[in-house]
Amino acid sequence: MFESTDKKSTPLSSLGEFGLIEHISKKVIIRNPSTVKGIGDDAAILDFEDKYTVISSDMLVEGIHFDLSYMPLKHLGYKSVIVNISDIYAMNATPTQIIVSMSLSNRFSLESVEEIFEGINLACEVYRVDLVGGDTTSSTSGLTLSITSVGKVDKADVVERSGAKPNDLIVVSGNLGAAYLGLQILEREKIIFQENPSIQPELEGYEYIIERQLKPEAKRDIFKLLKELNIKPTSMIDISDGLSSEIIHLCRQSNVGCHLFENKIPIDTAVSFTCEELNMNSTTVALNGGEDYELLFTVPMECYDKIKVCDELSIIGHITEEKEMKLLTLSDSIVDLTAQGWNALLKRENK
Amino acid sequence: MFESTDKKSTPLSSLGEFGLIEHISKKVIIRNPSTVKGIGDDAAILDFEDKYTVISSDMLVEGIHFDLSYMPLKHLGYKSVIVNISDIYAMNATPTQIIVSMSLSNRFSLESVEEIFEGINLACEVYRVDLVGGDTTSSTSGLTLSITSVGKVDKADVVERSGAKPNDLIVVSGNLGAAYLGLQILEREKIIFQENPSIQPELEGYEYIIERQLKPEAKRDIFKLLKELNIKPTSMIDISDGLSSEIIHLCRQSNVGCHLFENKIPIDTAVSFTCEELNMNSTTVALNGGEDYELLFTVPMECYDKIKVCDELSIIGHITEEKEMKLLTLSDSIVDLTAQGWNALLKRENK
């Protein structure tokens, strides 16, 4: 980290596009019967039989979504897949295929591309997803990754954002705010390093929040848990832009409102400690931080007992008929929720 | 062209990502029954019932694939869809949905994005394709468009690259080389304009080749014609990188070779004239030019009579058992075909 290493560097132009595709394809393993044909034709061929196909896309741009001075390329590859398949789980669907397109400037070598694909292939292995196609091209500056993920779901099982009903419980998985704080620490250490390259970054004690930033996971366990509990959420969304922004999406699309309880928002102790150190409010961080990739969903009130006993799930409020989104604070005052979440159309620095 | 205009300019940051998505969504019309749900959730929901889903992705990068000094934004939007759905037709499939991701630097306004989407929506209308999702984000420099296209095909109808058999006829639609020459003329006029901005570009007489470069079309008509003729090609590919490169792909994946005849390669008179003017060889241009988006396919020899009478189709050679790719030239010599096609990993200027 924060260091340039003397690794082997093969210019991409020495392979050409087809050579690069062939090179990448060699390490691709197909795991899903729905993949009829992967890389190597004008298009991939998929077969979902009687199921719905779900499909989603995300673009990650260097200097906007990631900073290679502290984001290792392998982690970037891994994270870019996670960010995408998280959307598939949020439809209550199983991710099955991804398509990866990337543009790279000539500062990237074959070895850099290999590192990115190491991360992509690892995520494919862990989540049993098939890499079935994409595009690789040059750019005049920087690295852009655009991934499309495809999944399947039984028609009766699909969960949209729009199904939340009054009195439904609002549930969130895991805990919130860690990825955002991890980013703050990495940015802080980067500035210190830039000012004095002899000082090595101080990352001890921040492992958890930094891992949440650099190597997030998609919530497959929650997807499985809900199946085991025989619970089909009435609505669901993944938290990429912060709890506040996501609950507002969910309420607006369901034409309802909500009451959230500040004291119920799950916050890890590592987040509390770091917030104290950085003089930040942990609720603000949880509401607006983003990049958690936890699942936010609503369930009928009857599910209370089933949810209550799950350590991985927190009931943080309920849906209201009145179309207002409110937070009951620790000091018993009621405030409006606002969407101040991550806005990818503003630069990270302007946030 | 080659001019800056004083149009209204609304900064994208004034809308934010969600505002922009809402704005774009308003003009989106859903036309396909396979689109269960389009923009507005974590993922789009598609239903292909008993058909195969085919899926393909392409990335277009400013400064590599297009130059906004002569490519109007609306045309860019249109072309970016065409480039993509061309791959779907090349599987003998019908395009049904696209997903559009783009990153833009702050030099692009809301009005620029609207122009791009005008072109995208027009292509969607013409080709009856649904825009069902995507991602919009900022970039530190330039514009990148990444489009994923989805299509459907009856399982028995899918045509891959790998099915060509010895003695099959090699057929190409339309004519070749025009898009590449259009680019040469646009680049020439750009240089003249840069050297002396008072000189207006001389584009008269070049309308056809410039249109092939700026506003290509996907070969839906050929796809329909083949159905009418009751011909299922044994293999098919779209010509994006030049005839030579594509026939090599097709032969390698089919484990066969080919004989092409120079005198059979379809070249428009506008291409011949411009080649003469630019002192270029029209066969070289047709073999290596790229961006034609014509369909190249093989059919059993029995189809000769059916194909022969179609003005839109040219029989340019045949498949051989011997795995060599040869061209019989006008002077009756035999030369090896080589893939010198468009290489997106080299910069356009280095080509």
A344, closest residue in chain B (CA to CA): B137
Structure-block tokens of residue A255: 């034409």
Note the ipTM here: 0.90
For residue B6, pLDDT beyond 70? no
CA distance to partner chain A, nearest, from residue B265 (Å): 22
**Cα dihedral sign for B122, B145, B69, B109?**
positive
- Say how far apart CA B280 and CA B272 lie, in whole Å: 9
For residue B121, pLDDT beyond 50? yes
Distance between first and last Cα of chain A: 25
B87 is in an annotated binding site: yes
Cβ proximity of B181 and B285 under 8 Å: yes
Q: pLDDT at position B344, please?
A: 46
How far does Cα B18 stand from its chain's mean position?
31
Report the candidate in A47, A149, A56, A52 with the shortest Cα–Cα distance to residue B47.
A52
Rg (CA), chain A: 21
Query: pLDDT for A1-29, tens place per residue?
Result: 544 455 678 888 787 777 887 888 888 88
Q: How confident is residue B335, by pLDDT bands cut at 50, 70 and 90?
A: very high
Q: pLDDT at position B297, please?
A: 98
- State the architecture of B168-336 in CATH terms: Alpha-Beta Complex (3.90)
For residue B351, pLDDT beyond 60? no
For residue A351, pLDDT beyond 70? no
Q: How confident is residue A103, by pLDDT bands cut at 50, 70 and 90?
A: very high
User: Per the CB < 8 Å rule, is B151 touching A48?
Assistant: no
* Minimal Cβ distance to B55: which of A46, A135, A237: A46
Structure-block tokens of residue B245: 């490169």
Cβ proximity of B219 and B295 under 8 Å: yes
Global pTM? 0.91
- Say how far apart CA B249 and CA B255 lie, in whole Å: 10
Query: pLDDT for B93-118, tens place per residue?
Result: 999 999 999 999 989 999 999 999 99
User: Per the CB < 8 Å rule, is A43 touching B91?
Assistant: yes
The upper half-sphere exposure of residue B219, i.e. CA atoms within 13 Å in the direction of its Cβ, equals 28
A135 is in an annotated binding site: yes
Q: pLDDT at position A41, please?
A: 86
* Sequence letter at residue A218: A
* Sequence letter at residue B249: H
For residue A149, pLDDT beyond 50? yes
Q: pLDDT at position A18, please?
A: 75
- Say how far apart CA B143 and CA B61 lie, in whole Å: 6
Q: How confident is residue B350, by pLDDT bands cut at 50, 70 and 90?
A: very low
For residue A79, pLDDT beyond 60? yes
Query: pLDDT for B249-297, tens place per residue?
Result: 999 999 999 999 999 999 999 999 999 999 999 999 999 998 999 999 9
Structure-block tokens of residue A309: 């006993």
Which range has the worst mean pLDDT, A123-137, A174-188, B330-344? B330-344
A315-322: average pLDDT: 98
A238, closest residue in chain B (CA to CA): B42
For residue B148, pLDDT beyond 50? yes
For residue B323, pLDDT beyond 90? yes
What is the 3-state secondary structure of A130-167?
EEEEEEEEECCCCEEEEEEEEEEECHHHCCCHHHCCCC
B286-312: average pLDDT: 96
- The residue behind tokens 């003017």 is B277
3 state DSSP class of A303: helix
- The residue behind tokens 């559009």 is B100
Q: Which CATH class is domain A28-154?
A: alpha beta
By DSSP bridging, strand A325-328 and strand A334-336 are: antiparallel
A130 is in an annotated binding site: no
Who wins on pLDDT, B314 or B37?
B314
Which range has the worst mean pLDDT, A28-37, A299-308, B250-259? A28-37
Instruction: Quote the crossing angle between the two packed helices B73-89 and B220-228, to the nearest 10°.
Output: 30
B171-186: average pLDDT: 96
Q: pLDDT at position B301, please?
A: 97
Break chain B into its structural domains and give their ranges: 28-154, 168-336
Q: pLDDT at position B56, please?
A: 95
For residue A306, pLDDT beyond 90? yes
Q: How confident is residue B19, by pLDDT bands cut at 50, 70 and 90?
A: confident
Q: What is the dihedral of CA B265, B268, B274, B279, to 10 degrees?
A: 20
Query: pLDDT for A197-219, tens place per residue?
Result: 888 888 888 999 999 999 999 99
B295-314: average pLDDT: 97
- The residue behind tokens 């006029």 is B189
* Residues on chain A touching B148 (C-beta within 8 angstroms): 55, 57, 99, 148
Q: pLDDT at position B340, please?
A: 65
A146-157: average pLDDT: 95
Q: How confident is residue A102, by pLDDT bands cut at 50, 70 and 90?
A: very high
Q: Measured between alpha carbons, how far is residue B251 from residues A237, A299, B164 in Å?
A: 46, 55, 7
Which range has the worst mean pLDDT, A66-75, A195-204, B38-47, B124-133? A195-204
* Minimal Cβ distance to A142: which of B15, B140, B347: B140
Q: pLDDT at position B54, please?
A: 95
* Residues on chain B touching A40 (C-beta within 8 angstroms): 161, 253
Maximal C-alpha separation, chain A:
65
